Structure 1
């Protein structure tokens, strides 16, 4: 509904010869309304949150903040794409607008920095151990294949090195090791 109102306003402004709104205004308004709605929801149903210990509240706040940042970036990515682009193009070779690339990069770095500090202040020794081993395993998942792939590509035996493929491999190994240590 919000996207329709935004598109209708811009279409009417363009037909009248007036200046249209910047493309990032719609997602910004949608994010603000979504955050406001979540705030009102949690304010009304916050009894379960107040019953948690301070450490648990910090933990869930860190995870919630990270989820909100990821949701904003993901929603903005979808809204930034031209009509008719497939999901494969979206996640592989599709061109991104400079505004989205800069904004998403800044939001990713700022959200990760804040979320990381909040998370580390909230975890206990058991979870810290799981996190540290997972980080080390993720590092190994990058260190072993990256130079091998690069050398094989230089000899024309492999395709060009894909940073995202290595990143996804690292994240999968990291998640598997973290879940193993946390829940075994």
Structure 2
């Protein structure tokens, strides 16, 4: 019996392998990109606090930006595309809106990080009026607009996963927030941290959405 030619074997990965690779690339690469964006914003803020940037500073920032761009390109090139099947125009449009929103968020985050200097939106320290106006505009105007545009384009399966994640996240908020508040009044826990609750609820939303969407 002749051995099968390796060239004749299907090159497509199994659904499980595709999902695993997507999770590794998305989570791992995303964490590195977020860290890199934070480093760029922090370095740039320190540079601008000490006056005009020098040539070496510009080269360092440029190198970090190029590194981030190369990483993002590598993630895009390595992203498995084996289980999606044909993509309709509405889904393609939704993905473009989502990608645009992510890029805009990164840019705004960099601007806020550079303009805010040592201030952090994820702390309880005071922020300057300019940073506050920009952040508020993103959260109550730009964010909702992008979300509405994206939601109008997604398919039924995506919408169901999105709603399931929202349902679980809202109930988690309803249950956790008052429990934390009471525990604080009893002296068992520190005062509720609004941004920590927001991040936790958002993470839960993403986990449920990912499970319903891909698993």
- The aligned residue for residue 139 of structure 2 is 108
Unmatched runs of 5 consecutive residues or more in structure 1: 12-50
Q: Deviations over 1:127-149 (max 9, x none)?
A: 11100100001112211110011
Residue 131 (1) aligns with residue 166 (2): no
Distance 1:149 1:108 in 2: 25
Distance 1:122 1:155 in 2: 47
Greater relative contact order (Cα 8 A, min sep 6): structure 1 or 2?
2
Residue 158 (1) aligns with residue 189 (2): yes
1:69–1:111 CA contact under 8 A, matched in 2:
no
- The aligned residue for residue 13 of structure 2 is none
Tell me whether 146-155 or 109-118 shows the greater mean CA deviation: 109-118
- The aligned residue for residue 144 of structure 1 is 175
Residue 61 (1) aligns with residue 96 (2): yes
1:87-98 correspondence to structure 2 within 5 Å: 91-98=122-129
TM-score (norm 2): 0.56
Cα root mean square deviation, aligned: 2.5
Count of paired positions: 135
Distance 1:52 1:126 in 2: 13
1:32-51 correspondence to structure 2 within 5 Å: none
Distance 1:176 1:118 in 2: 22
- The aligned residue for residue 74 of structure 1 is 109
Name the SS for the 1:94 alignment partner: coil
- The aligned residue for residue 42 of structure 1 is none
Cα offset, 1:52, TM superposition: 6.2
Name the SS for the 1:95 alignment partner: coil
2:91–2:155 CA contact under 8 A, matched in 1:
no
Cα offset, 1:62, TM superposition: 1.6
